[in-house]
Amino acid sequence: MRSNAEVVVCGAGIAGVAAAYHLAVRQHIRRVVLVDERDPLTLTSDKGTQAYRNWWPGPDDTMLRLVSRSIDLLEESAAESGNTIRLSRRGYLFATANEAGATRLASTAERVSALGMGPLRTHPGPLPYAPAPAEGYRDLPIGADLLRGDEIHRTFPYLAKDTVAALHIRRAGWFNAVALGSWLLGRAVAAGVTFMRGRVTGVRADGGRVGGVQLSTGDVIDTERFVIAAGPGLPNVLDLLGVSLPVFSELHAKMTLRDTRQTVRRDAPFLIWIDETQIDWTKAERLQLESDPETRRFAGLLPGGVHVRPVDLAHGDELYLIWTFETAPRPFVWPPEFDARYADARGYVDAIVYPENTREMLSLALRAALHNPGPHLGPFVLPAYLTEETE
């Protein structure tokens, strides 16, 4: 079937749905068509950490200005929807146990503050620290707070006792991405946006201008405006145009733990430990890891960047745990293909793991995984691709 549209949006994830919403609702453009071979919001949009921050260290203020504008729009959507999207301003809390890390946090915060993030406040200092509320996003501090000494554990008693510095980024937090996407999509459809199921298989370009798109269903849509919001599928769509950009994808996964003892308080910000970390294996476990070249690195220092946050604000007892130490570029494949060692550990990841048993379960999972070399296909612990530029 042949049809026409003022704009075709390729991809019905959060980016594509937001684009369709703003075109139809905010800009009053008619005949906007949203195209995806899957149901909306089901590829990576419902699988990430669903967090945001205006903390972008550079090299200039480009990303900071872009993200700040995005946060403005998030807050507008929260206000218009009665905050059905559960937008919070808990912030990001970067923590370190060494003075070199503390110096790095302070100098980076000064640089980002100069780019326009907001003021940097030091505690103890002339101004008292203002805690973030468990819920809500209005009338809260911007910039960042750098806590040192006793101020750290007075404010965040659940941090490691050897923490020497904690940097709290204030215009940051998280929201329910599925709720946001559903709200945007509902408003967009009500404004006339049409959803068509299919994969974009061809883009007609005449004299350097888009003239139409072809779908895997055989449908053809004549249009002069084509918005690409394909997420990790971006390189594939660009190939249709003969265009190449320096982007790549990483395959990330997150773990959900039940924190029945409230090791992390439910009103905690998004916690990020920036130091390298060494897992406290037993002697036997360490020897086993060191005996295999593929697992030897797990016996040593692992990269910093362990991320933890409460899943549902002050409710429930679950935590998200994200630790991205696998950062090799991956081609986009769906369903994603995980290394067999992750697959064999899945039984333990899917189980309810209590804090006091975490080390034991990780050890058991790793030991079991070492004996399974076969491939694994299919979703695993809410997988998601992160698409990035090379610079």
pLDDT in tens, the chain (391 residues): 999 999 999 999 999 999 999 999 999 999 999 999 999 999 988 888 899 999 999 899 999 999 999 999 999 999 999 999 999 999 999 999 999 999 999 999 999 999 999 999 999 999 999 999 999 999 999 999 999 999 999 999 999 999 999 999 999 999 999 999 999 999 999 999 999 999 999 999 988 899 999 999 999 999 999 999 999 999 999 999 999 999 999 888 788 888 888 888 999 999 999 999 888 888 988 898 899 888 888 889 888 888 999 998 778 899 998 887 677 888 888 887 766 655 544 444 444 445 555 555 555 555 545 544 444 433 334 345 556 655 5
> Side chain identity at 391, as an amino acid letter?
E
- Between CA 5 and CA 272 the distance in angstroms is 45
Is 2-50+176-245's fold the same as 92-174+249-389's? no
Only one residue has tokens 């745990």, namely 321
Domain residue spans of the chain: 2-50+176-245, 92-174+249-389
The CATH class that applies to domain 92-174+249-389 reads alpha beta
What is the identity of the amino acid at 44?
Answer: T
Let me know: does 358 contact 349? Beta carbons within 8 Å: no
CATH class of residue range 2-50+176-245: alpha beta
- Rounded Cα distance, 178 and 46, in Å: 6
What pLDDT is attached to residue 386?
57
Nearest-angstrom CA–CA distance, 348 and 341: 12
